[in-house]
Amino acid sequence: MSAAHPERVIDGWAEEELRTLQARGLRRELEPLSTPQGPVVQLGGETLINFSSNDYLGLAGDPRLGQAATAALSRHGVGTGASRLVVGDTLAHRALEAKLAAFMGAESALLFNAGYAANVGVLSALAGKEDVLFSDALNHASLIDGCRLSRAKTVVYPHRDVDALERLLRAHRGRRQMVCTDAVFSMDGDRAPLRELVALCRQHGAALVVDEAHAIGVLGDRGAGLCEALGVSGEVDLRVGTLGKALGAFGAFVAGSRAVTELLVHRARSLVFSTALPAAVCEAARTGLGLVEDDPSLRAALWRNIRHFAEGLQKLGHPATAQSAIFAVILGEPRAAVEASRFLRTRGLLVKAIRPPTVPEGTSRLRFGLSAAHTPEHIERALDALRELARNA
């Protein structure tokens, strides 16, 4: 920001936009951790209880995932050299896909390099100019971008509003109609009304795509997500899941029919035109998935923490319910959220402020992500700090 007369035009643009962000309280910073991901992390010399991660089961720093990756590194090396269709496909990709398909109770699963790439790839592969996409107003940015990239007509329906969606489905017809929604909404932690959406889609001949990013490993009897919890896995056309959140690794997948995943291999440009995931990442994810399948005590510990925190928030007067591992404490303006985050940091807590464009204007917030690895004391520390914050307000 120092050069008053930038020599390259692009620097001038950047500096001007950064000043605007700064003035609006929207300037952000990257902060490198000096420890693995976990319930307690070190950041710039501070030791902080970490409530900003999506590592819901505490697997991201688990040595068993690291060992699986290390073993795969010595077998496969680091790089995959090309996209999967060219020469980047390995037995590690196949083994993970088979395990994911079985876990999700789907005919087939297909890996993507990230949840972002999966959503962009899926929507742009399955919808085009003649089609209509219906998207919940609070869907994740990757679904929004997928809608845009598809060039389909996109109709945004009010958050979780099934009646409004029904009217819109009647009003906007196309060659194909497809509804897409987060299962658990990433910044509020509430759940999509999937049973109603399934019924509505069936009635209107629309397809339903559900993004289980924050529900995999968290919801359902076996941790397979909200569709499993609601008993609609077989009725949802396509489910997207990430490997980088509860499963502790990196990457993503879609679960659906063989026909759809095979078509995606041809048409999803984020898969066709991108180098394959390293085999070591696949092996770490497969290990994380195995732990989710074999150790229900992880999910039980997470849910103890979720209920503990929800009850504490209710006592503080927050309208919190135990729906997922995500809790939003809404503060309104960006600066209020940043100040609250700074205050919590003085109390040893890492709770990042979430501001536009991640959330709508006027709803800047503290977003708490809970983990199975948090102790009851960690949860109490957070509640104590929030109590103090409310007193000071």
Ligand X SMILES: *Cc1c(COP(=O)(O)O)cnc(C)c1O
Interface with ligand X includes 142 (CB under 6 A)? Answer: yes
Q: Which is nearer to ligand X, 325 or 353 (CB)?
A: 325
DSSP structure string for 178-218: EEEEESB-TTT--B--HHHHHHHHHHHT-EEEEE-TTTTTT
What b/e readout covers 236-248, taking b as 16+ CB neighbours within 10 angstroms? Answer: bbbbbbbbbbbbb
236 and 194 in contact (C-beta within 8 Å)?
A: yes
Q: Which is nearer to ligand X, 114 or 350 (CB)?
A: 114
186 is catalytic: yes
d(CA 39, CA 52): 9
CB atoms within 10 A of CB 364: 25
Q: Which is nearer to ligand X, 188 or 312 (CB)?
A: 188
DSSP 8-class letter at 85: I
Contact region with ligand X (CB under 6 A), list: 16-24, 115-123, 167-175, 192-200: 115-123
Mark residues 159-198: x for contact with ligand X by CB under 6 A, - for none: -----------------------x---x------------
318 is catalytic: no
d(CA 155, CA 144): 11
Biggest CA pair distance of the chain: 61
In whole angstroms, how close is the CB of 212 to ligand X at the nearest point? 8
Structure tokens at 86: 């060219």
3-class DSSP state of 390 = helix
Contact region with ligand X (CB under 6 A), list: 112-120, 253-261, 352-360, 363-371: 112-120
Please give the size of the binding site for ligand X, defined by CB under 6 A.
14
In whole angstroms, how close is the CB of 246 to ligand X at the nearest point? 11
Contact region with ligand X (CB under 6 A), list: 109-117, 255-263, 275-283, 383-391: 109-117
Interface with ligand X includes 126 (CB under 6 A)? Answer: no
Interface with ligand X includes 244 (CB under 6 A)? Answer: yes
223 and 229 in contact (C-beta within 8 Å)?
A: no
Interface with ligand X includes 242 (CB under 6 A)? Answer: yes
Point out the catalytic residue in the list 124, 142, 150, 186: 186
Interface with ligand X includes 115 (CB under 6 A)? Answer: yes
d(CA 339, CA 289): 38
Range 205-224, binding ligand X (CB under 6 A):
211, 213-214
Dihedral sign for Cα atoms in the order 362, 317, 186, 203:
negative
Point out the catalytic residue in the list 93, 108, 142, 245: 245
Interface with ligand X (CB under 6 A), residue from 114, 200, 247, 351: 114
129 is catalytic: no
Structure tokens at 26: 């929207």
What is the helix, strand, coil percentage profile of the chain, to 5? 45, 15, 40
Alpha-carbon Rg for the chain, nearest whole angstrom, is: 21
Which strand (E) or helix (H) includes residue 270? helix 269-272
Contact region with ligand X (CB under 6 A), list: 15-23, 108-116, 296-304, 368-376: 108-116
Q: Which is nearer to ligand X, 181 or 287 (CB)?
A: 181
Q: Which residue has the tokens 């795509």?
A: 209
In whole angstroms, how close is the CB of 121 to ligand X at the nearest point? 11
Interface with ligand X includes 238 (CB under 6 A)? Answer: no
Q: Which is nearer to ligand X, 201 or 213 (CB)?
A: 213
Q: What are phi and psi of 112, to 5 degrees?
A: -130, 165
Contact region with ligand X (CB under 6 A), list: 35-43, 113-121, 145-153, 258-266: 113-121
Residue 109 C-alpha from the chain's centroid: 18
Q: Which is nearer to ligand X, 239 or 381 (CB)?
A: 239
d(CA 86, CA 103): 28
In whole angstroms, how close is the CB of 371 to ligand X at the nearest point? 16
Point out the catalytic residue in the list 93, 140, 214, 374: 214
d(CA 366, CA 349): 11
Q: Which is nearer to ligand X, 116 or 343 (CB)?
A: 116
The residues binding ligand X (CB under 6 A) are 114-116, 119, 140, 142, 182, 186, 211, 213-214, 242, 244, 252
The residues that are catalytic are 186, 214, 245
